[in-house]
Amino acid sequence: MGRITLDKVTKSFGDIEVIPPLDLTIDEGEFVVFVGPSGCGKSTLLRLIAGLEDVSSGQIRIDREDATHLPPAKRKLAMVFQSYALYPHMSVRKNIAFPLKMAGMSKEEQDKRVDYAAQVLNLSDYIDRKPGQLSGGQRQRVAIGRAIVREPAAFLFDEPLSNLDAALRVNMRLEISELHTKLKTTMVYVTHDQVEAMTMADKIVVLQAGRIEQVGSPLELYRAPRNRFVAGFIGSPKMNFITGEEAAKHGAHEIGVRPEHLQPSTESGMWKGTVGVGEHLGSDTFLHVHDTGLAETITVRASGEMALRHGDTIWLTPEADKIHKFDAAGLRVE
């Protein structure tokens, strides 16, 4: 249960093609994250799978069954929306029971399932409240509860955490990951936040302008990005890109070095520069280095605390085996 296959799926709005022909297979029980900058078509792709948008051409199969033209309710999928999309006039219990009621399930079975979901999601104390009386995190849990009671073939999440504050987001991230381990149901998750993608996914699908740039596990994408776009998108802070002479030395049009693969030193090193802004997080220090003659700014990550100030001189040395090389078209060269 829960294998989703997209076969040459396209989507156009009027004359504008937002998804050019696209193939993708999401395996049973997988946690797949669609990630990309805003407007890359990741939400549209999710809505095509959900059936909330019609495909322009191509085929969508869910568990080997052609679902291309099935209405959303018939696809055995459950969706959690960015705005939670709870029914404001219904109590938490009624919200969670709504899909069961629509399916014509008996009252006892409804109650049994709602109570179970409420217990799993720690909602039992709020079961008779209205959504307006809940915090953002609680609302999100109700939305998830409404999705799990249906025992769907797959869950679809459309940027579910972007309305939450940073601390809560981390918690909910863990909760969703735990839920996935517990339920072992396929999950398709859309986000623009690469940290969410890296921490939650079994498989990441990086999208740009409706095209799939790369599909792979988080560490595959981190270690071997297929092109410059993926290299720049995955990893935080962003990879440093260097062109010109220094790149030519490595036989490439452009090279990329992640901030964590640069060794900073106050005494010696390969590249000399001046410290600009320093971000001191305690566990890490991010330094923005200028005047290296390589790029406008080079970001470097030092582990722990580093007592460097604005204007200090710094030397940077890249780890030789961690340098990524790209050709003029932006594709990876080995």
- Give the interface segment with other proteins, choosing from 34-42, 82-90, 295-303, 317-325 (CB under 8 A): 82-90
Q: Give how far Cα 155 sits from Cα of 85, 144, 229, 270, Å.
A: 15, 9, 28, 49
In angstroms, the CA 248 to CA 189 distance is 40
Q: Assess 88 for contact with other proteins (CB under 8 A).
A: yes
- Min separation Cβ 80 and other proteins, Å: 9
Residue 145 carries which DSSP code?
H
- Give the interface segment with other proteins, choosing from 15-23, 36-44, 77-85, 178-186 (CB under 8 A): 77-85
With CB under 8 A as the contact rule, the residue among 79, 120, 206, 287 that binds other proteins is 79
CB within 8 Å of 304: residues ≥ 6 apart: 282, 283, 284, 285
For other proteins, the closer of residues 150 and 261 by Cβ is 150
With CB under 8 A as the contact rule, the residue among 13, 37, 66, 89 that binds other proteins is 89
For other proteins, the closer of residues 142 and 287 by Cβ is 142
Q: Assess 232 for contact with other proteins (CB under 8 A).
A: no
In angstroms, the CA 141 to CA 2 distance is 22
- Min separation Cβ 143 and other proteins, Å: 8
Q: Assess 251 for contact with other proteins (CB under 8 A).
A: no
CB within 8 Å of 18: residues ≥ 6 apart: 11, 12, 41, 44, 210
Q: Assess 107 for contact with other proteins (CB under 8 A).
A: no
CB within 8 Å of 103: residues ≥ 6 apart: 150
Task: Return the residues of window 129-148 that contact other proteins according to CB under 8 A.
Answer: 146
Q: Assess 102 for contact with other proteins (CB under 8 A).
A: yes
- Report residue 269: phi and psi, to 5°: 165, -175
In angstroms, the CA 160 to CA 172 distance is 9
Q: Assess 45 for contact with other proteins (CB under 8 A).
A: no
In angstroms, the CA 240 to CA 245 distance is 15
For other proteins, the closer of residues 86 and 120 by Cβ is 86
Residues that bind other proteins (CB under 8 A): 50, 52, 71-73, 77-79, 81-83, 85-89, 98-99, 102-103, 146, 150
